Amino acid sequence: MPLSGPLLRLLPRFSPHLLLRLVPAAALAFAAMPAAAQSGAAATGAAGTAAGVSTGVTVGVTVYTVGDIARCAYADPKYSGAADTADTVAAGLAADRDAVVLTLGDHTYPHGTAQEFRDCYEPTWGRFKDRTWPTPGNHEYYTPQAAPYFAYFGARAGRAGRGWYSLQLGSWHVVSLDSNLAPLEHAAQLDWLRADLAAHPARCTLAFWHHPLYSSGGHGSVPKMRDAWEILQRAGAELVLSGHDHDYERFAPQDAHGRLDRARGMRQFVVGTGGAYPTPFLLTVANSELRDASRTGVLRLRLRRGGYDWAFVESAKVTTLGTAPPDRGSEQCH
């Protein structure tokens, strides 16, 4: 039978090494710009000076978030998983002019080159670039200094070597951090984070970076950002978003050492379902509440005053065997 339609969409999501495993088992002075106003977001620069306050303070702001996006095995990106998830996000943005996008790294595969951004990311996720706030993944740094990533996103990504920034979404303070930095650059990022949180106290704070501190997926837990987690938790932050593992996982609120803390801990979501080939779960990590590797899609968050709602929005099924309904829920801020 000739390959077409859904079959062509499915095949690029699996790498040969995965099949073998499955068969046996704005860090800068940032002036508010029209795109930010349209998206309901306002950025803060490296010095932590606010560029403004977003809309949606009382009614909330909708955020679509995911990482591990554009792996195009065919010349035409419409057959990629990134095309499916881009359609999902585009529909949500069309229905809500104040909604924004947070991307969790590994925007392109395999090397984060300018050609990959041009030929695979731009035709799919580039449709809403002016409403996207990114953080870099390890694949961006396969090209020296992640130069194409910083060139593509421009001011919204910070600048090379200082790719961290914060913004205000409604009543929420949102921080983007780079989990790929060498020790000296990472120390500078932590100094900036302390100053930024002190300058922008908020009941509800969200942080996002690529490598998850906790994960039951193939890469497992990555301790690189434990010190950032501790700083954020001391400031009363609520949520951490990460990608890296190509699956979806929700954790209970916990501290930087894996101890359950429903009163003061942070909840982490791993959302690596943006279109790259899926990977299986391995050993379940403590405090993991839900795991799903059966579909691609994006996490939709409603950041409202004093709390948040979440729902995983499916783009395409990877398997139809024993799949539970997509995850959803609500929580109050500390």
What token pair was written down for 190?
């932590």
The pTM assigned to this predicted structure is 0.85
pLDDT at 42: 55
pLDDT at 323: 81
pLDDT at 326: 96
pLDDT at 125: 98
Domain locations in the chain as residue ranges: 6-332
CA dist 57 → 98, 126, 240, 309 (Å): 11, 27, 20, 15
Cα gap 149→200, rounded to integer Å = 27
Cα gap 52→149, rounded to integer Å = 26
pLDDT at 176: 98
328 - beta bridge partners? 311
pLDDT at 75: 78
The C-alpha R_g of the chain, in whole angstroms, comes to: 18
Whether the CB-CB separation of 312 and 248 falls below 8 Å is answered with: yes
What token pair was written down for 216?
């039951």
Taking alpha carbons only, the member of 238, 246, 239, 250 closest to residue 288 is 250
pLDDT at 57: 59
Class at the top of the CATH hierarchy for domain 6-332: alpha beta
Counts for the chain of helices (H) and strands (E), in that order: 8, 14
pLDDT at 45: 52
Tens place of pLDDT per residue across the chain (334 aa): 333 343 334 333 433 333 333 333 333 333 223 333 334 455 655 433 333 344 565 579 999 999 999 987 777 898 899 999 999 999 999 999 999 999 999 999 999 999 999 999 999 999 999 999 999 999 999 999 999 999 999 999 987 778 999 999 999 999 999 999 999 999 999 999 999 999 999 999 999 999 999 999 999 999 999 999 999 999 999 999 999 999 999 999 999 999 999 999 999 999 999 999 888 999 999 999 999 999 999 999 999 999 999 999 999 998 877 788 999 999 999 9
- Residue 205 makes CB contacts below 8 A (sequence gap 6+) with 172, 173, 174, 175, 197, 232, 235, 236, 237, 238, 239
